[in-house]
Structure 1
């Protein structure tokens, strides 16, 4: 679904998972600086949007998700996961309830599979689910933005900004009151700086929440049963996750960023060393230079210089050993 904001001057379309919106509008560092200063907006209209209505919606979602949402107050944002029976991450949900409807946005293209799972679990509960992607779009405003949210169906208030669920017909009118547009490259650079994991980037088919620090934001450790809870409780109480997320300050002399999936090794072992993990996301930051997130084996020394492909990088710990 192509965004009308791709018609703005300087817009360069994104590719891959973020196709359909702008990667940037001509100056990625200026766009980052504007967002960091609390100005502008990011078009995230390629993300999937689901709604859940009905008297039992919150108590029903509470049974399915890793987050405590049975008494979620209207307007309060929550992040949650759907896990496999073995505790592996299958879906990441970013939700808010307005008092009558629970609004959810998810990674582009994943809404169909998530909706099918939710529908399979309805049973006798008084709930209705719907794919609202065709009618509503997600727009992100950075922390400190003074732009009005008039016209939004609902707003998710976050420590790092606001997510607006807007009617799609409003997308083309955004620049009038929201400031300069910023592309997803700028948004991703700030996401990586904030160590915020993303489904399909920081995760693979065997990721458990502990490995990417989702226990801090998307898992409630004292709530009732949900699918995959046994793994979450066992690893939290008795074991250690096999891998851990790290933040990498990359060598700025290299021209190319290591893409997703690039193998990570100890720099001391050189190119022939054993792979310890892989790069999950990378970006050029307006202050920090080239940065990345990587998923590495838990016992990787925290003070070791790593090689992301051929690019050296020092670690910041995200998930402790």
Structure 2
């Protein structure tokens, strides 16, 4: 992916292996901007696909986890492509607008998704295409985001996943980040208009905000990223995607049997939790690092961030049997599980889990 033109903004520091800014000089201040004001987040590294054609909604309905058949114009959603065994192979954020279904996906995954869609076309009237070279996504995030959009002459849909046309592109409202106070809007623009649209939003009051700030609030909200917080064994039931990207009342899609069986049993093999790390090491654990309880591996870490209020925190998939007060380590750092992420049957261990979090945080403060 070509480096984003927004890297020319003052203070921009490019992601080590990416094409957008990880921050613009002050990552913690940028987090506060997203939590209290309005930030412009460059998400132009995401891949974008379009699916026009008369059969698109019934076709997508049959091959994904989401209910597309009755999706109205101006609606959005999330959806998954699953393996025959129910493992997550792709995660899509979708918008239906003016006879075309749009999907944006994790950077670098668009070609693989397109290859899958092409295999599933058969004789149907659909024309999936990868259009990342022509279209890009920006994020406007924070409690003041609706006002910024209005000042920039862009719509701000009121309902979650609502989609409103904006020029040749659209604005889509997503679930909030952080503690719930940060509204999230995805703005799809022609890539040729990326700089001009960013300038409009900055002039309207948004502040440049790097990907690290966005990631910090995403982790706080327990919103997973495909391929980072998921692995080849992940099923939807282990993540909040079961409620955002799966329609439990539809059937006849690949992997549906696993989803329905685990949902009915009510106990997936793993669960997504927030881990508090001691933060003593300057090097954060990499995605995929083992979560250990003594010598035993009990899970894997996904995204690890430095949060402006919580300290070093991470999303992790851990075995369902791990109690929230279990002493954990990740990459040599002490870790404690957020007690609120415990299943109901483990409620009696939450007080001990809170004590463990305090101990982990005190180790950081005492550095």
Give me the TM-score of the superposition, normalised by structure 2.
0.82
The Cα shift of 1:319 comes to: 6.8
The Cα shift of 1:241 comes to: 1.8
Specify the alignment match of 1:141 in structure 2: 140
Residue deviations 1:108-132, cap 9 Å, x none? 1111110111111112322111111
In the alignment, the residues of structure 2 paired with residue 15 and residue 90 of structure 1 have an alpha-carbon distance, to the nearest angstrom, of 25
Alignment of 1:8-87 (within 5 A): 8-16=9-17, 19-87=18-86
Specify the alignment match of 1:293 in structure 2: 315
Figure out how many residues of one structure are paired with residues of the other and give that number: 314
In the alignment, the residues of structure 2 paired with residue 66 and residue 26 of structure 1 have an alpha-carbon distance, to the nearest angstrom, of 40
In the alignment, the residues of structure 1 paired with residue 138 and residue 148 of structure 2 have an alpha-carbon distance, to the nearest angstrom, of 12
Specify the alignment match of 2:181 in structure 1: none
In the alignment, the residues of structure 1 paired with residue 26 and residue 107 of structure 2 have an alpha-carbon distance, to the nearest angstrom, of 25
Specify the alignment match of 2:262 in structure 1: 235
In the alignment, the residues of structure 1 paired with residue 334 and residue 125 of structure 2 have an alpha-carbon distance, to the nearest angstrom, of 54
Find out whether 1:157 has 2:173 as its counterpart.
Answer: yes
For residue 294 of structure 1, give the secondary structure of its aligned residue in structure 2. Answer: strand
In the alignment, the residues of structure 1 paired with residue 68 and residue 342 of structure 2 have an alpha-carbon distance, to the nearest angstrom, of 25
Alignment of 1:1-321 (within 5 A): 1-16=2-17, 19-144=18-143, 145=145, 146-148=147-149, 149=154, 150-151=166-167, 153-160=169-176, 161-173=184-196, 174-178=198-202, 179-238=206-265, 240-266=267-293, 269=294, 273-316=295-338, 317-318=340-341, 320=343
Residue deviations 1:129-157, cap 9 Å, x none? 11110000011111430223354601221
For residue 296 of structure 1, give the secondary structure of its aligned residue in structure 2. Answer: strand
1:245 and 1:319 in contact (8 A); partners too: no
The Cα shift of 1:239 comes to: 6.0
In the alignment, the residues of structure 2 paired with residue 284 and residue 297 of structure 1 have an alpha-carbon distance, to the nearest angstrom, of 24
The Cα shift of 1:162 comes to: 0.9
The Cα shift of 1:314 comes to: 1.9
Change (3 A) 1:183 1:152: farther
Gaps of 5+ in 1: none
Q: Runs of 4 or more off by more than 4 Å in structure 1?
A: none
* Superposed CA RMSD: 1.7
In the alignment, the residues of structure 2 paired with residue 308 and residue 204 of structure 1 have an alpha-carbon distance, to the nearest angstrom, of 17
For residue 61 of structure 2, give the secondary structure of its aligned residue in structure 1. Answer: helix
1:75 and 1:155 in contact (8 A); partners too: no
The Cα shift of 1:256 comes to: 3.0
In the alignment, the residues of structure 1 paired with residue 341 and residue 244 of structure 2 have an alpha-carbon distance, to the nearest angstrom, of 13
The Cα shift of 1:176 comes to: 3.6
In the alignment, the residues of structure 2 paired with residue 285 and residue 176 of structure 1 have an alpha-carbon distance, to the nearest angstrom, of 29
Residue deviations 1:214-256, cap 9 Å, x none? 2121111111210111111111113632221110122244433
In the alignment, the residues of structure 2 paired with residue 74 and residue 288 of structure 1 have an alpha-carbon distance, to the nearest angstrom, of 40
For residue 172 of structure 1, give the secondary structure of its aligned residue in structure 2. Answer: helix
Change (3 A) 1:253 1:259: same
For residue 235 of structure 1, give the secondary structure of its aligned residue in structure 2. Answer: helix
Change (3 A) 1:248 1:55: same
In the alignment, the residues of structure 2 paired with residue 9 and residue 123 of structure 1 have an alpha-carbon distance, to the nearest angstrom, of 49
